[in-house]
Structure 1
Amino acid sequence: MRIVMIGATGHVGSYLVPRLVNAGHQVLAVSRGQREPYHPDPAWDRVERLQIDRTAEEDSGTFGRRIADLEAEVVIDMVCFTAKSAGQLVEGLRGRVRQLLHCGTIWVHGLSTVLPMREDDPKTPIGDYGTNKLAIEELLLAETRSGGLASTIIHPGHISGPGWPVINPVGNLDPAVWTTLATGQSLLVPGLGAETMHHVHADDVAQLFQLALEKPDAALGESFHAVSERALTVRGYAEAAARWFGQHAQLEQVSWEEFRRRTDDQHAAASWDHLSRSQVASIDKARRLLGYQPAYSSDEAAREAVTWLVEAGQLDLGPRGALL
């Protein structure tokens, strides 16, 4: 089928576009700039790439019609962040495409209350990102129920893989955390170390998008979690990562107040954002309806990302640190 993908060269698109091309679909890859995908694949030679400035088109009220005029059967939107933006796309696509697939986030759930979280659990997001993504989900599902544009929402966890930094065991992007674990030093851990994070490899997210568009009878009007089979606690993640380097994790547990005092403000804020939610998402629905089976565990996805960072010269582990 003919598929338009908006935000095609990002983390997930770098895997999803080749998947779709190799499955025999015709893909039009829409992006704002000319950034290359995160990893090369011969399939990109068979992709039509279009440069469209979404912000400028939305300001002029033409974005939805512009995408509709590409005459796709399916549109995949990886970079929609407000209900207003989603609404304009819906208006342009209604009656013109078979299915819209939207990339959401497990942060639509907010703070954990019951684990694992299910897609139909009551959602009380905190922060603009999760709140806006929930508003988009509600708009799209209501549109589907009303008989308009049929949509499917995929909610990834913490997307990991080669080509970009990965959320580390204390819930931030501080590269020093990896050096600390790689060299057997003491890692500062806020709280109990029992807080959870749910990672997913970008290719597993791509797998679920592909299943959702190829099984529309099961996917239309539904939302699905895209995560690994099991989440990791802070402690479990740190211990797994230390083993990558032949080390034992040395963890220094401190209060959040002490952690903030001894940590860069930006990294401390990111840690709180991730660990305070302490999320674990169920994939039972995606398995049952679509046959989703993640290929990577949480620690495997993270390890692949760290391996890439080391090999790309973006992570200095020091003379005592080396991946086994």
Structure 2
Amino acid sequence: MRRVVVIGATGHTGSYLVPRLVQAGHEVIAVSRAERQPHQERPEWQAVQRVTADRRAEDAAGTFGERIAALRPDAVIDMICFTPDSARQLVEALRPTRPLLVHCGSIWVHGPARRVPLTEDEPRTPYGDYGIGKAAIEELLHRETLAGGVPSIVLHPGHISGPGRRAINPAGNMDAEVWRRLAVGEPLPLPAFGMGILNHVHADDVAQAFQLALTRPAAVGSSFHVVAEQAMTSRGLATGVAAWFGRTPELEYVDWPEFEERAGKEHADVSREHIERGIAASIGKARAVLGYAPRYTSLEAMHGSLLWMVAHNQADVGGQPF
């Protein structure tokens, strides 16, 4: 049994991860801003110590890392670190006791793909504040490990989906209208001939990978992709979603200017970000070293999200059963 501190414990993935850790016999300390409860009420949460902390404010004050170190963890799982400075503060505070640090990265540390499936050591050209920041954090943590400091493992999830979270839709954005069009059989415009690649993963599969990382010494100092077995194209996802409603989708393949006109600039910009990356990530390394075995396909992860979205009035499927 380990004393495990989970930072960002009541978020989407944390809501699956914390019960898993309790079931595995770990002593769990859940750190969050206490602004929301876990989206799944599970009895395991009764065995969890809850700590309230505003990471952004405490990072600014230079106190967050020391607060985590004072909890005397054997391992720290960090789900919500987004800047190198935040990672540096945590590492410096943990260095005297050197607990295992498992960091949540992102497959967006890769830029546009040159070869697929992408492996973890593929040359990278990250762009955007999020991808560049996550890549810099990963580099910082691996340098720390190589120097004999805090041992770390970095996990790179794809588009995290499943109940409790809105999913990236088949058009590669968050436009709720896409779901309705596929459900009722209306035409759906897709850019790039519908061949944009999306790599979803169910939150419980991400939680599985974090749980496994705690017990795999060979993983220390390495990074791992955590996604579904296969990525899918936009047209493949759209076809799968329409099939839930007993339909064949009416897809219209349009150029980017027309897509922006019909979807709106905000949604089109998000689609372009996803499609230009075109990430289909390999899980071969995670399977071999961590023993990672995703239970859900990309489409199944998306299905869980849509069920949850409809139940919480965040998506309209025209009253169609599925």
Distance in 2, matches of 1:55 and 1:309, equals 29
Deviation at 1:314, TM superposition (A): 2.8
- 1:252-267 equivalences under 5 Å are 252-267=252-267
Per the alignment, residue 304 of structure 1 pairs with 304
User: Is 1:322 matched with 2:321?
Assistant: yes
Distance in 2, matches of 1:165 and 1:277, equals 20
Per the alignment, residue 103 of structure 1 pairs with 104
Q: TM-score, normalised by structure 1?
A: 0.97
Deviation at 1:32, TM superposition (A): 1.7
Per the alignment, residue 55 of structure 2 pairs with 54
- 1:167-246 equivalences under 5 Å are 167-215=168-216, 217-246=217-246
Distance in 1, matches of 2:192 and 2:287, equals 33
Total equivalences in the alignment: 321
Distance in 1, matches of 2:173 and 2:43, equals 34
Q: Do the aligned partners of 1:110 and 1:124 also contact (CA within 8 Å) in 2?
A: yes
Q: Secondary structure at the match of 1:49?
A: strand
Per the alignment, residue 282 of structure 1 pairs with 282
Read off the aligned partner of 1:84 and give its amino acid letter.
Answer: D
Per the alignment, residue 5 of structure 2 pairs with 4
Q: Secondary structure at the match of 1:214?
A: coil
- 1:65-76 equivalences under 5 Å are 65-76=66-77
Per the alignment, residue 114 of structure 1 pairs with 115
Per the alignment, residue 82 of structure 2 pairs with 81
Deviation at 1:79, TM superposition (A): 0.5
Deviation at 1:10, TM superposition (A): 0.7
Read off the aligned partner of 1:195 and give its amino acid letter.
Answer: G
User: Is 1:148 matched with 2:149?
Assistant: yes
Read off the aligned partner of 2:262 and give its amino acid letter.
Answer: R
Q: Do the aligned partners of 2:4 and 2:74 also contact (CA within 8 Å) in 1?
A: yes
Bigger drift between 270-279 and 136-145 goes to 270-279
Deviation at 1:313, TM superposition (A): 3.2
Per the alignment, residue 158 of structure 2 pairs with 157
Read off the aligned partner of 2:54 and give its amino acid letter.
Answer: D
Distance in 2, matches of 1:176 and 1:115, equals 31
Identity, % of aligned positions: 54
Per the alignment, residue 270 of structure 2 pairs with 270
Provide the aligned C-alpha RMSD in A. Answer: 1.0
Deviation at 1:8, TM superposition (A): 0.4
Deviation at 1:165, TM superposition (A): 0.9
Distance in 2, matches of 1:290 and 1:191, equals 35
Distance in 2, matches of 1:316 and 1:175, equals 7
Q: Secondary structure at the match of 1:318?
A: coil
Q: Secondary structure at the match of 2:194?
A: coil
Read off the aligned partner of 1:299 and give its amino acid letter.
Answer: L
Q: Secondary structure at the match of 1:192?
A: helix
Read off the aligned partner of 2:321 and give its amino acid letter.
Answer: A
Q: Do the aligned partners of 2:98 and 2:149 also contact (CA within 8 Å) in 1?
A: no
Distance in 2, matches of 1:60 and 1:297, equals 42
Q: Do the aligned partners of 1:104 and 1:153 also contact (CA within 8 Å) in 2?
A: yes
Distance in 2, matches of 1:194 and 1:264, equals 20
Read off the aligned partner of 1:188 and give its amino acid letter.
Answer: P
Q: Do the aligned partners of 1:196 and 1:233 also contact (CA within 8 Å) in 2?
A: yes
Distance in 1, matches of 2:264 and 2:165, equals 21
Distance in 2, matches of 1:239 and 1:228, equals 18
Distance in 1, matches of 2:240 and 2:200, equals 14
Q: Render the CA deviation track for 1:252-308: whole Å, top value 9, x for unaligned.
A: 110001111122222111111111111100000011111110000000000111112
Distance in 2, matches of 1:293 and 1:33, equals 32
**What residue ranges of structure 2 are gaps of 5+ in the alignment?**
none
User: Is 1:129 matched with 2:130?
Assistant: yes
Q: TM-score, normalised by structure 2?
A: 0.98
Deviation at 1:58, TM superposition (A): 1.4
**What residue ranges of structure 1 are gaps of 5+ in the alignment?**
none
Q: What stretches of structure 1 move > 6 A for 4+ residues in a row?
A: none
Distance in 2, matches of 1:311 and 1:59, equals 38
Distance in 1, matches of 2:261 and 2:316, equals 25
Distance in 2, matches of 1:277 and 1:55, equals 29
Q: Render the CA deviation track for 1:128-150: whole Å, top value 9, x for unaligned.
A: 10000000000000100111110
Q: Secondary structure at the match of 2:266?
A: helix
User: Is 1:294 matched with 2:294?
Assistant: yes
